[in-house]
Chain A
Amino acid sequence: SQQGEEDPQALSIQEGENATMNCSYKTSINNLQWYRQNSGRGLVHLILIRSNEREKHSGRLRVTLDTSKKSSSLLITASRAADTASYFCATDAGDQGAQKLVFGQGTRLTINP
């Protein structure tokens, strides 16, 4: 069943601007993760935020998590043409065994030079 839903479905901005993508989910989670996918390729893990964390940074990426609203956001600052890709949030709701990530439909981000 679909857990994460990204918003917007597509986003087009100018190089140098900031890009914000949002994710909502339905059930309690252990952690939420963001991934990036270039066209037709595998996904690349960007950042993981645990349920007891509210904000996390990695380079130009900033992720927030609001468990009361069951939502997360990914901010990419000072965007570059190379940031053009699809971005997915994924939630891990299990507490034992292997991680079992449920992915949203993704946000297609286009950075215009």
Chain B
Amino acid sequence: ETGVTQTPRHLVMGMTNKKSLKCEQHLGHNAMYWYKQSAKKPLELMFVYNFKEQTENNSVPSRFSPECPNSSHLFLHLHTLQPEDSALYLCASSQHRGRINGYTFGSGTRLTVV
């Protein structure tokens, strides 16, 4: 366990479904992130939250909707996804900039859109 927990580990959903990915950390980190990892592509930064406020939306389609109710929890709400959205979705957290020591990643949610 890294200290960042993602659920579910695997998710298969139809294109008309609505589902949510959950990420939780109790490391005392202030920043949380969503990344998408597709085959043969670099990790793509999707969203950044710093002290619960969204500071980055990397041109992500509106069918992905993040939510950060507090510094320990991060959600990614999914609706009307496309097959090309199938990927490994990784959540990460980090300290504030004054104490940078890298990200802590969760194990990811393997999403398959059918």
Contacts and interface: CB of A to CB of B under 8 A. Distances in A.
Nearest to B90: A42
A81 interface: no
A99 B105 contact: no
Please list the 9 inter-chain residue pairs (A to B) with the smallest Cβ-Cβ separation, ordered nearest first: A98-B31, A42-B105, A45-B102, A98-B50, A103-B43, A42-B107, A43-B105, A105-B42, A103-B42
Interface residues of A, number: 28
B108 A105 contact: no
A42 B107 CA distance: 4
The prevalent SS among residues of B at the interface is: strand
A68 interface: no
B50 A44 contact: no
Given A2-B42, A103-B43, A105-B42, A98 B48 contact: yes
Given A35-B103, A48-B101, 7 more contacts: A35-B105, A41-B107, A100-B48, A101-B103, A102-B45, A105-B40, A105-B41
Given A104-B42, A105-B41, A98 B96 contact: yes
A59 interface: no
Nearest to A31: B100
Nearest to A46: B102
Interface of B: 2, 4, 6, 30-31, 33, 35, 40-43, 45, 48-50, 55-56, 88, 90, 92, 94, 96-97, 100-108, 110
A37 B80 CA distance: 30
A50 to B, nearest CB: 9
A18 B111 CA distance: 36
7 contacts: A31-B100, A35-B102, A44-B2, A88-B43, A95-B97, A99-B97, A99-B100
A102 B56 CA distance: 13
Contacts of A96: 97
Contact of B94 (A43, A99, A104): A99
B96 A42 contact: no
